[in-house]
């Protein structure tokens, strides 16, 4: 009797593990790439424990032929009605909380990761959310070149937060500082993080037989395993990509839209993983290889998501339909293209535009934080930035005319004069952070992409400097 009881418990564990895998699949729908690592960790850990108990001599029932007797540890057939005692899913407790749950997915810069740098920058940041009350979810891609305030440090690209957290050995390291930075920037509390390395991603994609994506146009990709020496060209159309190709597809950024296009591809892969898992029966092979996969993949995941919480969220996620998964990308419509004090290309955020996008994905009702009232003109006047104007166009008297024109538009011009050098293109320098004035001037003076510079000088006599170029004459922008 003791032996039968022991076997029954063992088989129940296997059944629970198998059902946990079924339960976790909807969670993969929600956070795709993130769950490449997390789902693998949770599922394979659970299955491995069950598999290894009692010496691992029993296979899950769905891997056995129905004509083959089910044996206990002593080789004695077990009657079917003695194998399970009730529904194992009843032991899984769903998420008890009513508040929205949010997770930050992080991928590291390959150059840092491949050379085993002590600290790495994050190359991918995707914020994922699950709302228990509305049974909805969201995915927001955050570009790595976004210029933001990093808690405890100066402004910098958002991808350097991870590096600084590890380099200065702050509590929680890189992930914790990345989370704090995104929280502060977006105004969204983040409960969990997950950092997944390239090998774990490739290994999992290969394990599920690749991922199907619809390539919109010809694309050249670099395979990491070849040291960027071998390029592969993807032709347009639906196709199944193996792990290494899928990773290269998700990382490719040398297209017209740059990082914004890459974010679209990453979200394509997220949904492709979801479709692959749901379309094909992956369970038998995953269970058979569970111990090996767990050993390989768990080392490639860095997360603060506990096993218990992950399972509870997985149970909850079953009720989320695909149509309730909102997706967004912080893109060219939400930023200015500029340069940092040290000459790096950066993306300067337009706060309200990004908050509107955030609210579309993360707010169930209303908005998460107040928006600046009024139109662009009203917002510019409310910001009340002190603006200095310098004539670099080579046309005499343009500084006076330009100052009068801008004052008539409500711009707070505090100084006007000639520039010390000539400018072919009008340039703006922001010293104190004035997104609404910048947005207004960009629209009014047709400031070219990349001609917005950030030079933080809080004691500067002017918040913003404008250097008029020859382009304002050519475009007849100033009366």
pLDDT for residue 54 = 40
Among candidate residues 346, 359, 370, the one with its CA nearest the CA of residue 148 = 346
State whether 139 and 255 are in the same domain.
Answer: yes
Compute φ and ψ for 185, nearest 5 degrees: -70, -45
Specify the CATH number for the domain of residue 149.
3.40.630.190
State whether 158 and 293 are in the same domain.
Answer: yes
Among candidate residues 299, 310, 329, 463, the one with its CA nearest the CA of residue 388 = 463
pLDDT in tens, 224-260: 754 555 788 999 999 999 988 998 898 887 788 888 9
Q: Are strands 464-468 and 387-391 parallel, antiparallel or unpaired?
A: parallel
pLDDT in tens, 427-438: 999 999 899 999
State whether 123 and 232 are in the same domain.
Answer: yes
- Residue 51 clears pLDDT 70, i.e. is over it: no
Average pLDDT over residues 8-34: 37
Most confident of 27-31, 225-229, 461-465: 461-465
| Residue-wise DSSP of 384-446 | ---EEEEE-SS-TTHHHHHHHHHHHTT--EEEEEE-SS--SS-EEEESS--HHHHHHHHHHHT
Q: How confident is the model at residue 215 (pLDDT cuts 50, 70, 90)?
A: very high
Count: domains in the chain: 2
Domain boundary (331, 365, 394) is at 331
CA distance 390 to 414: 11
Among candidate residues 301, 250, 275, the one with its CA nearest the CA of residue 37 = 301
267: in domain: yes
CB 158 within 8 A of CB 148: yes
- State which residues form the domain around 439: 376-474
Among candidate residues 443, 414, 445, 448, the one with its CA nearest the CA of residue 431 = 414
273: in domain: yes
pLDDT for residue 60 = 37
State whether 388 and 441 are in the same domain.
Answer: yes
State whether 187 and 124 are in the same domain.
Answer: yes
């Amino acid at each position: 009797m003791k032996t039968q009881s022991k076997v029954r418990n063992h088989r129940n564990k296997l059944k629970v593990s198998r059902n946990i895998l079924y339960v976790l699949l909807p969670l993969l729908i929600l956070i795709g790439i993130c769950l490449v690592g997390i789902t693998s960790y949770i599922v394979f850990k659970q299955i491995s424990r069950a598999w290894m108990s009692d010496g691992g001599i029993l296979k899950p029932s769905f891997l056995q032929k129905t004509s083959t007797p089910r044996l206990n540890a002593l080789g004695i057939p077990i009657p079917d009605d003695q194998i399970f005692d009730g529904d194992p899913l009843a032991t899984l407790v769903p998420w008890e909380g009513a508040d929205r749950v949010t997770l930050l997915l992080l991928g590291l810069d390959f150059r840092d990761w491949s050379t085993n740098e002590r600290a790495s920058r994050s190359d991918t940041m995707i914020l994922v959310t699950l709302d228990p009350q509305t049974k909805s979810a969201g995915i927001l891609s955050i570009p790595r070149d976004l210029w933001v305030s990093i808690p405890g440090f100066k402004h910098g690209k958002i991808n350097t937060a991870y590096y600084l957290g590890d380099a200065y050995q702050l509590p929680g390291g890189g992930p914790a500082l990345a989370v704090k930075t995104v929280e502060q920037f977006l105004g969204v509390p983040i409960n969990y993080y997950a950092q997944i390395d390239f090998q774990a991603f490739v290994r999992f994609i290969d394990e599920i037989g690749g991922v199907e994506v619809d390539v919109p146009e010809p694309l050249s990709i670099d395979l990491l395993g070849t040291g960027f020496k071998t390029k592969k060209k993807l032709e347009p159309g639906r196709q199944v990509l193996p792990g290494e190709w899928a990773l290269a597809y998700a990382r490719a950024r040398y297209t017209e839209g740059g990082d914004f296009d890459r974010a679209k591809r990453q979200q394509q892969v997220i949904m492709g993983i979801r479709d692959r898992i749901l379309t094909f029966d992956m369970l038998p092979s995953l269970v058979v290889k569970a111990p090996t996969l767990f050993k390989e993949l768990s080392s490639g995941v860095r997360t603060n998501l506990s096993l218990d919480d992950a399972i509870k969220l997985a149970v909850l996620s079953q009720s989320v339909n695909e149509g309730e998964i909102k997706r967004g990308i912080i893109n060219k419509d939400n930023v200015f293209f500029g340069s940092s004090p040290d000459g790096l290309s950066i993306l300067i955020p337009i706060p309200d535009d990004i908050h509107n996008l955030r609210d579309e994905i993360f707010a169930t009702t209303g908005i998460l934080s107040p928006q600046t009232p009024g139109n662009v003109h009203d917002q510019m006047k409310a910001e009340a930035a002190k603006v200095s104007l310098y004539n670099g166009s080579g046309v005499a008297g343009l500084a006076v005319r330009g100052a009068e024109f801008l004052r008539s538009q409500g711009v707070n011009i505090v100084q006007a004069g000639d520039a010390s050098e000539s400018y072919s293109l009008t340039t703006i320098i922001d010293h104190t952070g004035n997104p609404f004035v910048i947005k207004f001037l960009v629209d009014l003076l047709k400031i070219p992409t990349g001609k917005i510079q950030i030079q933080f000088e809080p004691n500067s006599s002017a918040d913003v400097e404008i250097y008029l170029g020859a382009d304002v004459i050519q475009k007849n922008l100033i009366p």
